[in-house]
Amino acid sequence: MSTPTEAAAPTAPKPTRIPPIVTLDAKFFWDGADQEQFLGQKCSDCGLFTFPPRPMCPQCFSVNRREVPLSGRGTVHGWTIPRHPPPFGFKESPIVAVIELEEGIRMVSNVVGCGYDEIRQDMPVEVTFEATMNNHKVPVFRPRT
């Protein structure tokens, strides 16, 4: 057993980011994120990518859908820095962005590891993950060179 003289390893600060609201139709997406997998939804019959996930393909009406790994690469389609009210769960204002993925779908996320004066429209980014409260993770994006 260790003695009390040993310094305790510094504990990582507890995540304060709000966990996602999980619905049945999007459960695969958030479950994947917990495992640091970035999954998209593709129609098994006609191959259409859809986001946000949904129970039926809007092109061929198939309910057969596949969860497929996404490339995780995309560009910043639009972005903003929420200043007021301070977004709950963040110590500093995040950069919120609409990310256009290579697969031709868009999602709202954050750009991390990027200064407020460095963010640019159409900037290339790639997926990474950040922890939330209640032991979940969500996909976010960082600058890609």
Partner 1 sequence: MTRKFTEAAIAGIGQTEFSKASGRSELQLAAECAVAACKDAGVSPHDIDGMVTFTIDNSDEVNLARCLGVKDLAYTTRIPGGGAAAAATIYQAMAMVNAGLCHNVLIWRAMNERSQYRFGQNPQQQQMSYQSGNGTGSLLWCVPYGAMTPASWGALQAARYMHKYGVTNRDLGYISVQQRAYAANNPNAWFYGKPITLEDHQNSKWIQEPWLRLLDCCQESDGGVAILVTSLERARDLKQPPVQIVGATQSIPYNVEVISNYYHEDLTVMPEAQGVAKRLWAMTGLKPSDMQMAAIYDAFTPHVLLQLEAFGFCKPGEGKDFVKGGGMALDGALPTNTNGGLTGEAYIHGMNSMIEGVRQIRGTSCNQVTKKTVEHVLVSSGMAGAVLAKA
Per CB under 8 A, residues contacting partner 1 are 17-21, 23, 26, 51-52, 58, 77-85, 87-90, 93-94, 96-98, 105-110, 116, 121, 132, 138, 140
Using the minimum distance from each CB to partner 1, give the nearer residue, 37 or 132: 132
Using the minimum distance from each CB to partner 1, give the nearer residue, 4 or 85: 85
SS3 (DSSP) at 34: helix
67 touches 40 (CB < 8 A): yes
Q: Which two tokens stand for residue 1?
A: 């057993």
**Separation between Cα atoms, residue 124 and residue 75, nearest integer Å:** 4
126 touches 13 (CB < 8 A): no
Using the minimum distance from each CB to partner 1, give the nearer residue, 5 or 14: 14
Q: Please, what is the minimum distance in Å from the beta carbon of residue 51 to partner 1? A: 7
